[in-house]
Amino acid sequence: MWTCPYCGNSGGVGFVDPNLKGMLCMHPNCGRFDEMTEGRIELLMRSDLYEQSLV
């Protein structure tokens, strides 16, 4: 399960474009972007929470 490295919130939305891949924190006082490496993405993709956030 993903948790924001800045605030500890576990609610996030997956974000992918040609230049960036990562999670956007949905906490109202944070909203920061956590860039993912390919290795971290593979680990998180095994989690249902990450897959649901990309839909």
Q: Is residue 27 part of a domain?
A: no
Domain total for the chain? 1
Q: Do the Cβ atoms of 11 and 26 come closer than 8 Å?
A: yes
Which pTM does this prediction carry? 0.66
Residues 39 and 13: their CA atoms lie apart, in Å, by: 18
Tokens read off for 46: 């095994």
Q: In 10 A of CB 7, how many CB atoms?
A: 12
Predicted confidence (pLDDT) at residue 42 exceeds the cutoff of 80: no
Residue 27 sits at φ, ψ, to 5 deg, of -70, 135
Q: Is residue 31 part of a domain?
A: no
pLDDT for 6 equals: 96
Q: Is residue 48 part of a domain?
A: yes
Dump pLDDT digits (tens) for 3-27: 899 999 999 998 988 988 889 999 9
Sheet holding 12-16, edge to edge: 12-16, 21-25, 33-35
